[in-house]
Amino acid sequence: MSELHVEIDSGVAVLTLNRPERRNAFTSTMGRALGRAYRDLDAEDSVRVLVLTGAAPAFCAGADLSGGGTTFRSPDSATFSASPVDPPAFALRKPVIAAVNGHAIGIGMTLAMQADIRFVAADARYAIPQVRLGVLPDAMAHWTVARVAGMAVAAEILLSGRTFDGAEACRLGLASRALPAADVLPAALEMAHDMAVNVAPMSAALCKRLLWDTAIHGYHPSRVADLETELHLRVMGRPDGAEGVRARQEHRDPRWSARLSAEWKDLTDS
């Protein structure tokens, strides 16, 4: 059975970490599969939004520790990466919602932190406990957690490795909503399907890229203003700009025509 299950419906791709007998414990095979799926889905125009979740009852219990004391043995320095999913979710052009429907420990939580939006199970356990295992947080958590929730929260969570529940995850700014576990994926899918229909794909891609590039590069507000102006000039006067207004006035779903596969230019492109 594949360690990652992908299902596409009406513009929404659901990626399910699929080792339920091990609470979806992360393996290198799972990481490679997730990276490939991210790349493939980002290139597919019919996919508008991605939802990352786990096969019940967990999201991801962290690294597979079945190797005991050899789990973190010295790796091949030429091939090892502490960020084993390439590209990360934040580098995609499509919005990524993490439906964290159960426990997310270690790399389970750090992968969720790479998503744009996180819904969590209120009574599940969350932790980035790598310092308690003699290693370090991974998947760029030293950056994502600080950017999402602030330096003080990142220092507390990463340096203590302590466990917290979904309600506290929301209070700390690590997640948007804490819901009963059974409601997490349906709520994420409801948002995803709404976005797939009503959000212009090019607008979403440019908005997401500017958000994350601002976080990465620390743009000054004046630089953000310049980029917002440049990106407005890319979309204003284009068919989707007119279609969005017409659809709202006519009380119908918009019919977007821009295609990322053919028309995308990165923020740094002329």
Boundaries of every domain in the chain? 4-195, 200-263
> Of 85, 82, 95, which Cα lies nearest the Cα of 36?
85
- Kindly report the CATH number that applies to the domain delimited by 4-195: 3.90.226.10
pLDDT, tens digit, 9 for 90 and up, residues 158-185? 999 999 999 999 999 999 999 999 999 9
Residue 267 has a pLDDT of 87
Residue 144 has a pLDDT of 98
Contact 266, 209 (CB under 8 A): yes
Residue 74 has a pLDDT of 74
Residue 236 has a pLDDT of 96
Beta-carbon contacts of 250 under 8 Å, excluding residues fewer than 6 positions away, are none
Contact 62, 105 (CB under 8 A): yes
Q: What pTM, to 2 d.p., does this model score?
A: 0.95
Instruction: Give bridge partners of residue 14 from the DSSP assignment.
Output: 7, 51
Hey, is 14 helix, strand or coil?
Answer: strand
User: Distance of alpha carbon 125 from its chain centroid, rounded?
Assistant: 19
Instruction: Spell out, as residue ranges, where the chain has pLDDT lower than 50.
Output: 270
Give the position of tokens 């990466």. Answer: 81
pLDDT, tens digit, 9 for 90 and up, residues 197-228? 999 999 999 999 999 999 999 999 999 999 99
CATH C-level class of 200-263: mainly alpha
